[in-house]
Structure 1
Amino acid sequence: MNDGHDASPGHGADAGVAANDADAADADATDAAGASPDEVDDAGASAVAPDDAFAALADETRLRTVRALASADRPLGFTELFERVADDPDGPSAGFAYHLRQLTDRYVRTDDDGRYRPTFAGRQAARALDAGVYTERVDRDPEPVDGDCPVCGAAALEARIADNHVGVACTDCATELLALPFPPGGVRDRDTDEVLPAFDAYHRARLRQLADGVCPDCAGRAEGKITFVEPAELPDAAEAGERDADAADAPARPVVAGACADCDFRVRVPVSVALAEHPAVVAFCDDHGIDVRERPIWNLGSEWAEGVLSTDPPAVRVSVAGDGETLRLLVGDGPTVVETDRVTAAEDDRSGTGPTERSTEGGPEGDDADDQAATAAGSS
């Protein structure tokens, strides 16, 4: 794949015009001249100051160069790269040689034969530009979404795409079920009914990485902790005026707060969402004809419920109801599933922990709506 400027046969290794040959030699001789020296730590990692790193990209020619190399299917010689990037491919290339030097080592490197290819940083920069991460902001009018609200049961769900975030909310009970960032490239050229499956797949994959202790943004060390969120802190708090006054007295709700030790990655999702692909859950749902992969992460369904057993240490009971049977998971911090058990509907009712009755330490017993609100709200 290229950026639309095909090179003529013979360009690249053969070099073409004498002036361009001279510029290429000059560029090769001074590859590192424009780059700030990296500081190398004891582990062999090197770093450059952030302002220097971004300054190297602060030119349209350099941005086009990085994107041209990233989109090419092979390394490019100086002449061929110049022809793909320059506004006037027949003009002098001395200025281009200067810009190439500013990119060398950090975003561009040369092979032994003098051809140019992007570094890891160069590819990442090009991908971020193609995805519109730094250049695009997507806002759309809300649109209806199929399905019933897991909190109130109303068929009143709508998708909200604003400021490069995608969310699903219920207009009947004013509950925001889920709202998470989504790159603009994921929305571009897609209708909303195409955006939502992509959004679902994107965040399922990220949550799997978080569960494995890997940051989905930087691949650093990440972990999840169970925390408890007061109703006023939930994403739909701005709409609190539209909710019942009793909502202010609702108990704190458990969420999994994920964070990375090496970057500023942060995420907050309901405990049930973090456990949706746990092996015990998948097996139970398969036994009862429920395909958890068909349930979007913003609406796992009315079969799910949560109850807070303890806040210190954190302990949450998550339950999934099937046909005449309930799977119960005792969840500790991490989140870590400490124990699982299956009980029949009769056993569940006798224990007082069925999906229609949940006790919360320090708080009143809740009904179905309260429990499902706990599974639905709290994302960011």
Structure 2
Amino acid sequence: MNALFNNYARRPISLVEGKGTIVKDEEGKRYLDFTSGIAVCSLGHAHPSLVQTIQQQSEKIWHTSNLFESPGQVALAESLMKDNHFSHALFCNSGAEANEAAIKLARKYTGKHRIITFKNSFHGRTFGAMSATAQEKIHQGFGPLLEQFSYLPFNDIEALQETVDDSVAAIMLEVIQGEGGVHAVTEQFAQAIQDICEKNSILLIVDEVQTGIGRTGTRFAFEQTPLKPNIVSIAKGLGGGFPIAGILATAELYETFGPGSHGTTFGGNPLAVAVAQKVIELVFEQSFLDEVLEKSNYLLQKLNESLPENEFAIRGKGLLLGIDCRKDVSEFVTKAEEEGLLLVGAGPHVLRLLPPLTVTKEEIDEAVDILKKVLLTSKSAVSTS
């Protein structure tokens, strides 16, 4: 027992150094980091441009409060909204905060309170974001949640059509349910959501906390679907490891968040926006995004060649991939770690692969070799789901 709460199931290693995809623990052991801090270190560890940006900004000013003008926030907002349909941004510190802001904005703008979300979703652990999350294990022990969230099966058009009425303020979803098993929205379901929102004047909130900022091979994952959200939440990869998050919203919502309606002490501080601006400059280059898709295809090819399809199902987009092992994966995570590969689960049966967007093909080869060794030396089992 130590001085910390025991709310994390921590692994018994301490990572003390990192460069690119490679990290080392306090014993000097080397690992391939295919967690990226759970999709956070989009440019890998200690990227030279980010290190330089932090150093330069730290010598100027760290924090000023949102009581004052922030040219850095304005510049970052403009970079994020270039060539899309959004018009305004708000910056905060985490994905949960971003989703809280999205929920507040939707309810205040519409004057309605009911929001539809989907089973196995994950939107955060604050009370509003936890209430939006349709997973009972996240809710247990905390008493009454925020009211008027309706949880529907993901990719079920009929259930959605039967549930929508004039009490609904917004529909909220992830394009890929990262924590919920790496399940992607189908083209048909995305189109149905878009049609329903337009027909019924319902706001559409897309949670891009994990999928945004190049993770799926486009700036935002919704760009690969028929979805055209009114609000999108972003975090994780936006700061490349430095805490920053935010929402982007369309023009009609601007007046809803007037002075005093919402706020944050640390959100959008000069250090955070300087780092995020550099991340955006690098990641939003089309050549960089093309490389992400190329590496995704290469990783998928290697996985399909190495793992029998009758035992494993591989799904996802870009560099957010899941391997459904059809059995509990905790043993695989531990064995991969012993072999020098860091992984994270996505539900009980799925291994989630989240390498930095800068991962090399050589590192992919090494990771797949470890996965093959770990997964194929254990007996396959039928699904227990």
TM bin, normalised by shorter chain, reads under 0.3
User: By percentage of residues, which structure has more strand?
Assistant: 1
The structure showing larger relative contact order (alpha-carbon pairs under 8 Å, at least 6 residues apart) is: 2
